[in-house]
Amino acid sequence: MNSDFDTLFPTINTICASGKLRSKASDFMVIEHHDMSFTEQGEHLWFKIEKIHSNTAWVATQLASACKVPARQVGFAGLKDRHAITQQWFSVQLPKIVEIDTIKAKLPDEISILAHHWHQSKIKTGQLKHNEFKIVVREVEGDHTATEKNIARVNSNGVPNYFGPQRFGHDLNNIQQAKDWFSGKIRVNNKKLRGLLISTARSHIFNLIIAHRIQNKLWGKVISGDILQLDQSHSWFPARDATAEELTERLAAFDIHPTAALWGDDTVQSTEKCAIIETTVANTFPEYHKGFNNHRVKQDRRAMRILPTQFSHSWKGNDLHLNFQLQPGSYATSVLREIIQTS
C-alpha cells in the first residue's frame, strides 16, 4: 500500500498482518455485473470483455480501431484496474465491422470477447449493478486471529468509503498537480486531465473529512447537521428529519449512511457540527476553492461508509482468499486495508 496514503487516511481497524498482493494477474480479479435486458436490436453493439494487465481507456481505443469507429463512439461504465484480470462491458455505436470473428482477430492478446449483444443505447458511466472482486493475498505474515477479527468487523461495521490511492496518482502526485493548476502555476489543456484533477481535489477533501471523523471517533455515527444517504441511492435527507431512535435503527441496518461533502463553489448542504468540520477541512486548501469557483464545480455528497456484500474468505496455507461485491464507485482497496496490509 501507499505509505503516504495510509498516513493521511487512517483505518478504523488495527492491522496486525501483511501479505503480497498481485503476485500474478489472477490474484486480483474484477467482474462487472449488470441487470441489463438486451433488445438484440439497435445501433450499439455491446461486448463483454476480459482484459489482462490493460487499462480501460486502452481497451476502448483498441475496440474503436477493430470496429473502425472514432473513440467517442465507444462507451463503458467505469474504469477498471490495470494490474488485474477484469471483465467489463463496452458498447460500440454503429460499428463499421460487425463480424465478431473479424473483430476478435484485430484485438491484442490481452483482450478477449466473452459475449456480445445488440442494444438501442450506449452504455453510460456508472451503469452497472455492482462489481465482484476475487482477491488473493499471498504469504501472509502476522496474526491470523486478528485478521479474522478484522474480517468480522468489516462484515458487521462496513468500511470507510475512501477514494482509493489510484484516484491520487503515483505517490499522490495528482494532489500537487491539482493545486498547481488551480493556482495558475501550470497550464492543463487536456480535457480528461482537467476532469481528473478536479476529481482529485474533491476526493482529497472528502477523504480528509472521513479521516477527521475517524480520528475524533465520529465515523459511523450521526452528528448534528449530518446529511444522510439512503443505501445504494443518491437520495439524501437531513438527520434532523428523523428521530434519534429511527436514525439508530436505520444506521445499524445499513439502510442509511452519513455522508461527507464532495466540495464545490456553492454552500455546503450540511449544517451545525457537520458543516463546521467539513468547512474547516476544506478551508485548509484555498487553491482548491479558486479552482472550484473558476470551473463552476457544485457541491455534492457521498456516503462515508460502504458495506461489502456476499463476503466470503478462506485460507489456503498462508494465502488469504477474499470474495466480495461492492456497489459502483467504491474501492476494493478500502476493504482490503481494513483487513490486512498489502505490498
- Type of residue numbered 331: Y
Contact 221, 22 (CB under 8 A): no
Q: Does 167 lie in the same domain as 85?
A: no
Looking at the chain, how many residues does it have? 343
Q: Does 288 lie in the same domain as 240?
A: yes
Counting beta carbons within 10 angstroms of the beta carbon of residue 328, is it exposed (0 to 12), middle (13 to 18) or buried (19 or more)? middle
166 in a domain, yes or no? yes
1 in a domain, yes or no? no
| Residues 198-213: b if buried by 16+ CB within 10 A, e if exposed | bbbbbbbbbbbbbbbb
4 in a domain, yes or no? no
Q: Does 75 lie in the same domain as 41?
A: yes
Backbone angles phi, psi at 189, to 5 degrees: -100, -20
Q: Does 207 lie in the same domain as 314?
A: no
- The CA distance from 343 to 330, in Å, is 20
Q: What is the CA radius of gyration of the chain?
A: 21
Q: Does 208 lie in the same domain as 103?
A: no
Counting beta carbons within 10 angstroms of the beta carbon of residue 72, is it exposed (0 to 12), middle (13 to 18) or buried (19 or more)? exposed
Per the structure, the count of domains in the chain is 3
3 in a domain, yes or no? no
Domain limits at 166? Answer: 159-306
Residues belonging to the active site:
81
pLDDT at position 2 is 65
Q: Does 164 lie in the same domain as 152?
A: no
DSSP, residue by residue, 165-186: GGGT-GGGHHHHHHHHHHTTSS
Q: What are all long-range contacts of 237-242, with beta carbons under 8 Å and residues at least 24 apart?
A: 238/271
pLDDT at position 1 is 53
Q: Does 206 lie in the same domain as 270?
A: yes
Cβ within 8 Å of residue 283, ≥6 positions away: 289
Task: Give the residue among 205, 229, 197, 178 at the shortest CA–CA distance from 279.
Answer: 205
Q: Does 291 lie in the same domain as 241?
A: yes
Question: pLDDT of the chain along its 343 residues, tens only?
Answer: 567 999 999 999 999 999 999 999 899 999 999 988 999 999 999 999 999 999 999 999 999 999 999 999 999 998 888 889 999 999 999 999 999 999 999 999 999 999 999 999 999 988 889 999 999 999 999 999 999 999 999 999 999 999 999 899 999 999 999 999 999 999 999 988 999 999 999 999 999 999 999 999 999 999 999 999 999 888 999 999 999 999 999 999 999 999 999 999 999 999 999 999 999 999 999 999 999 999 999 999 999 999 999 999 999 999 999 999 999 999 999 999 999 999 8
Q: Structure pTM?
A: 0.92
pLDDT at position 225 is 97
Backbone angles phi, psi at 73, to 5 degrees: -90, 5
Helix intervals (H) in 163-256: 173-182, 191-215, 244-252
pLDDT at position 214 is 98
pLDDT at position 164 is 94
Q: Does 264 lie in the same domain as 313?
A: no
pLDDT at position 154 is 98
CATH of the domain at 287: 3.30.2340.10
Contact 131, 32 (CB under 8 A): yes
